[in-house]
Amino acid sequence: MTMYYGEIALKLKLRAKYLIFAILAAVFTVVDQMSKEWIVNVTENVEGRGFTVIKGIINFTFVKNDGASMGLFGGQRIFLILVTVAVFAFGLWYFIKNRPDNMLFLSATSLIASGAVGNLIDRIQLGYVRDFIDLDFVNFYIFNFADCAICVGAGLLILYAFINIKE
């Protein structure tokens, strides 16, 4: 099979895109893990301990979450690990099979993957996820940077789907 220079250039460009987004996912995962280590050190690993960042808006309050988003499936560590690994494996299979190259799609999936890996690391190592971002102006669950990455990535994925709806 003969490849033309244009085809080779396209394949190299696509691989470079994938590398950039893999690095982006790795950086977000490292930032997530570093932020969690930081809050554990600041609060001396005492659950419920924290401090005000901006009065009336945001606090950092350390909590141990043994469930998923909003405490769902609390205490179901093995189940949550298996679901995360299965979803990650499906995503990897999709990438290998379809070779997506849309920047919005790649950004979304990189964020989702980094958040999933960040929380998976906690769940495997500790048996719970370290959460600490506490929005004071709304009655909402405490979360972390990995959760933010997943939510922003999911929003971008929905935007991608709306933009690419085939009539």
Is 131 catalytic? The answer is: yes
Rounded Cα gap, residues 92 and 159, in angstroms:
21
Confidence class for position 3, pLDDT limits 50, 70, 90: low
Rounded Cα distance between 145 and 133, Å, is 8
Instruction: Look up the domain containing 86 and give its range.
Output: 14-163
- Cα separation, 88 vs 36, whole angstroms: 22
Residue 154: its pLDDT value, please? 96
pLDDT of residue 5: 66
CB of 133 closer than 8 Å to CB of 142: yes
Q: Is residue 57 part of a domain?
A: yes
Q: Could you tell me the pTM of the whole model? A: 0.88
Q: Please tell me which residue, 121 or 69, carries the higher pLDDT value.
A: 121
Report whether 91 contacts 111 (CB < 8 A): no
Whether 19 maps to a domain, the answer reads yes
| List 101, 131, 134, 136, catalytic entry | 131
Within a domain: 139? yes
With a cut of 60, say whether residue 1 has pLDDT above it: no
Could you tell me which of 167, 7, 20 has the C-alpha nearest to residue 106? 20
Position 5 in a domain: no
Provide the 3-class DSSP secondary structure of residue 12.
helix
Q: Which two tokens stand for residue 94?
A: 């999709």
Active-site residue identified among 32, 122, 134, 147: 147
Question: pLDDT (tens digit, 9 = 90+) per residue, 6-39?
Answer: 677 777 777 888 899 999 999 999 999 999 999 9
Q: How is residue 77 annotated by DSSP?
A: H
In this structure, is residue 20 part of a structural domain? Answer: yes
Rounded-to-integer distance, Cα 92 and Cα 67, Å: 24
User: Quick one: tokens of 70?
Assistant: 């909003």
66 part of the active site = no
The domain total for the chain is 1
For 125-154, write each residue's pLDDT tens digit.
Answer: 999 999 999 999 999 999 999 999 999 999
Question: Is the residue at 1 inside a domain?
Answer: no
Instruction: Express each pLDDT in 51-82 by its tens digit.
Output: 999 999 999 999 999 998 877 888 889 999 99
